[in-house]
Structure 1
Amino acid sequence: MQVILLERIAKLGQMGETVKVRDGFARNYLLPLGKALRANEANKKRFESERATLEARNLERKSEAQKVADALEGKSFIVVRSAGETGQLYGSVAARDVAEILAAEGFNVGRNQVELNTPIKAIGLHKVTLHLHAEVELAIELNVARSSEEAERQAKGENLTSAEAIYGVDEDALRPEDFFDPDADRDLEDE
């Protein structure tokens, strides 16, 4: 199907271009969301008459997205979740969770603007990309931890999945004598 794009769409084209897309993509996404028009003479004339307003609206959306991006630039958000000793989360952190965390901090970001190909399933520092507009993209940092104290330690660069972090035991300093009592064998031999 041939469509006229009403806004810039990544990996597809710029505003005003006539592109060929699959029928389902046009019918289910581009046309219902007002991102494109069917390519015919009437719609070409309509697009040319509305071009100035579409460009102004696109510029306004871009400037709003840029303001949000400037406010979010370099920010880190703490996500507290329960996890096992190895750092594996009992649940996960998905795009919906990221959108809710940002909304709680006062940022209006939709879950479809969060690029998270697979959910986060382990504690640690994770980079998440946000697509606020076709031309505005930024990365934020999520600090996923078991508690806010652990999040602070993680932010300083500490690895919280080691035995030292969990139990306060230095793995390298352990010796066999710490686990095995040589005198215990002698007691058994005497009996």
Structure 2
Amino acid sequence: MDVILLERVEKLGGIGDVVKVKDGFARNFLLPRKKALRANEANRKVFEANRARIEAENASRRSDAEKEAGSFKDAQVTLIRQSSNTGQLYGSVAVRDLVEALEADGHKVTKSQIVLDRPIKAIGVYDVRVQLHPEVAVTVKVNVARSPEEAEMQAQGVDVMAQVFEEGRDQGGFTEDYDPNAEPGATAEAQDEPAQG
């Protein structure tokens, strides 16, 4: 299906471009969200008649988004979550969690503005893109940790999981001779000896 874009759409084109898209994408996304019109003679005439107004509205929305982007300078949110000893979260951080955290920080965002390429399923620091306008995007640092102390350490660049592993080794939690298949209570020497039969 050919459509006329009413705003810039990533990987498709800018205002006024006539592009060919799959029918489902046009019917389910572009047309209902008023991002495009079907490309026929009547709509071309309507678009050309309103082009100046559409471009002016887009420019005003873009300037508002650019002002708002200033408030996101060095924006960072911290989410405290439970995780396993390996740092895997019980569940994942969803777009809704990010919207709530950003709103608590005083930023007005909607779920559709947050671009999360893949779900966050482990503790760490992540860069998440927030699309304020088709032509204006900002990056927010998301610090996912098990406690405020760990979040502080991660913010300073410390790899918390590596440090936890090192502490476990130093305290004798992990030993070189450990064999997970050995019988409980067997010593390292006993593990190496063949069974007496």
Task: Report Cα offsets for 1:76-118 as digits up to 9, x if no partner.
Answer: 1111111122211112102221122112212121222212122
Distance 1:170 1:27 in 2: 56
Secondary structure, in 3 states, of the residue corresponding to 2:167?
A: coil
TM-score, normalized by length of structure 2? 0.80
Distance 1:5 1:82 in 2: 44
Which residue of 2 is the match for residue 187 of structure 1? none
Secondary structure, in 3 states, of the residue corresponding to 2:48?
A: helix
Which residue of 2 is the match for residue 171 of structure 1? 169
Q: 1:49 to 1:147 in 2, by over 3 A?
A: same
- What pairs up with 1:98-137 in 2 under 5 angstroms? 98-137=98-137
Secondary structure, in 3 states, of the residue corresponding to 1:83?
A: coil
Distance 1:39 1:158 in 2: 54
Secondary structure, in 3 states, of the residue corresponding to 1:97?
A: helix
Q: CA RMSD in A?
A: 2.2
Structure 2 unaligned spans of 5+: 176-197
Q: How many residues align?
A: 175
Distance 1:122 1:70 in 2: 29
2:83 is the counterpart of 1:83? yes
Structure 1 unaligned spans of 5+: 177-191
Distance 2:22 2:5 in 1: 14
Secondary structure, in 3 states, of the residue corresponding to 1:78?
A: strand
Distance 2:146 2:4 in 1: 49
Secondary structure, in 3 states, of the residue corresponding to 2:9?
A: coil
Which residue of 1 is the match for residue 155 of structure 2? 155
Distance 1:31 1:159 in 2: 46
Which residue of 1 is the match for residue 68 of structure 2? 68
> Deviating runs (4+, > 6 A) in structure 1?
none
Secondary structure, in 3 states, of the residue corresponding to 1:59?
A: helix
Distance 2:24 2:68 in 1: 32
2:77 is the counterpart of 1:57? no
